[in-house]
Amino acid sequence: MSTLRLLRRLLPPYGKLIAVLVVLLVAQTVGTLYLPTLNGNIINNGVVAGNLPYILRTGEWMLLVSAVVGVLSIAGVYLASRVAMSSGADLRSALFTHVQGFSARNVNHFGTASLITRNTNDVQQIQIFLQMALTMMVVAPIMAVGGVVMAIREGATLSTLLLVAIPVMAILLGAVMGRVIPQFRSMQGKIDRLNQVLREQITGVRVIRAFVRGSFEVNRFRDANDSLTSTSLRVNRIFALLLPAMMVVLNLSSVAVVWFGGRLVSEGVMPIGNLTAFLTYIMQILMSVMMAVMVAILVPRAAASAERIEEVLGRVNINLLQFHGDESPEQCRRYPRPYVKVVHMRDGVDLHEAARRYHDALALLL
């Protein structure tokens, strides 16, 4: 939910670009789904029938469709990158501007190291997720739904295999996501700790050398680094099991299609070209699920980063300054905030003169 709230704040200025991107990706996906049908037609109407002109004519059409799909893909990636990078720049600017208005209490609440991490690493996680989502997450559902429709059109009997393959992949994905989301939250906190230790060592290097505390600081850094490394390895081990498991499901599905489809071809129920097209559609459907998995891998870390960014943006900053000393008007105006000036009442104080000097103050406090 935090990721969606953050994206709703970032994406409205780029609505037109996103609309163009979606149109390009839809056209690209339609072209990709059309190619297996052309390939099946070449086999059924060209190779089997020995019709060379049909093969050449349909082959030229396939080359044209492939070229258009390639151009659309390049344009889509370019627009997705532009939206993601621009949104990241806007988010960094918003964080920086908001933090500039923090009081010392707010800065101490988060810590300097944590604020640096949130404005760099956390924003980068949102950028990466956004770029992947704008490409793969748009293509994946269209490819999956279109692939199912085209697969049923080529062979309704074999389509029942999808009722087994897709739920199995969904169960694997859900099990992995439930385990890694807490680990990603912990990882971002440990990056904060690593930045804090490194920053303290750099800023206090003279004191560390003066008191001969080098070995102690080395141990502090090693502890923070080892903690981050162990968490990262734990997450990567989980993901290392996910992709091979998905590939097992994908390959077993292909074997099942060839096994049962071969029997249908031998019985004369299904043309060989339709089987070839069906096998391609099955691969496209399961690959679309794999694309969704690749984006889903980024969701936990992006969600953790979005929570941390929203925590900063939701913190109330200073919107009014109050000066109690002998600050000059120029000193009061140095800060880009409205201010109230305290005037200490004593002999010789001219309130009219004070009002003239601090004419841009919201009020004079006596």
- Which tokens in the block code for residue 303? 């969600």
* Residue whose tokens read 């099942």: 256
Q: Which residue has the higher pLDDT, 301 or 201?
A: 201
Least confident among 38-42, 217-221, 329-333: 329-333
Taking alpha carbons only, the member of 269, 299, 292 closest to residue 157 is 269
Q: What is the pLDDT of residues 252-291, one digit of tens each?
A: 888 888 888 888 878 777 788 877 888 888 888 777 777 7
pLDDT surpassing 90 at residue 71: yes
pLDDT at 189: 77
Q: What is the pLDDT of residues 138-170, one digit of tens each?
A: 788 888 788 778 877 777 777 777 778 778 877
Percent of the chain with pLDDT over 90: 3
pLDDT at 45: 83
Instruction: Please give the DSSP secondary-structure letter assigned to residue 333.
Output: T
Mean pLDDT of all residues in 100-119 = 77
Q: Clarify whether residues 223 and 92 are in a common domain.
A: yes
Q: What is the pLDDT of residues 179-234, one digit of tens each?
A: 777 777 778 778 778 878 887 887 787 877 778 788 888 888 888 888 888 888 88
Average pLDDT taken over every residue of the chain: 80
Q: Clarify whether residues 211 and 340 are in a common domain.
A: no
Residue 357 and residue 94: Cα distance in Å, rounded?
A: 33
Q: Clarify whether residues 351 and 242 are in a common domain.
A: no
Q: Which residue has the higher pLDDT, 62 or 149?
A: 62
pLDDT surpassing 60 at residue 1: no
pLDDT surpassing 90 at residue 29: no
Angle between helices 15-41 and 121-154 (to 10 degrees): 30
Percent of the chain with pLDDT over 70: 95
Q: Clarify whether residues 122 and 238 are in a common domain.
A: yes
Q: Clarify whether residues 279 and 339 are in a common domain.
A: no
Residue 339 and residue 301: Cα distance in Å, rounded?
A: 40
Q: Clarify whether residues 329 and 236 are in a common domain.
A: no
* Structural domain boundaries, residue 182: 2-313
Which of 39-53, 57-71, 133-147, 309-323 is modeled with the greatest confidence?
Answer: 57-71
Q: Clarify whether residues 108 and 131 are in a common domain.
A: yes
Query: How many domains does the structure of the chain reveal?
Result: 2
Q: Clarify whether residues 245 and 350 are in a common domain.
A: no
Q: Clarify whether residues 153 and 286 are in a common domain.
A: yes
Helix (H, G, I), strand (E, B), or coil: what is residue 238? helix
Q: Clarify whether residues 50 and 197 are in a common domain.
A: yes
User: What burial letters (b/e) apply to 292-322, b meaning 16+ CB within 10 Å?
Assistant: bbebbbbbbbbbbbbbbbbebeebeeeeebe
Which of 87-96, 184-193, 202-211, 309-318 is modeled with the greatest confidence?
Answer: 87-96
Q: Clarify whether residues 162 and 182 are in a common domain.
A: yes
pLDDT at 68: 92
Least confident among 84-88, 193-197, 323-327: 323-327
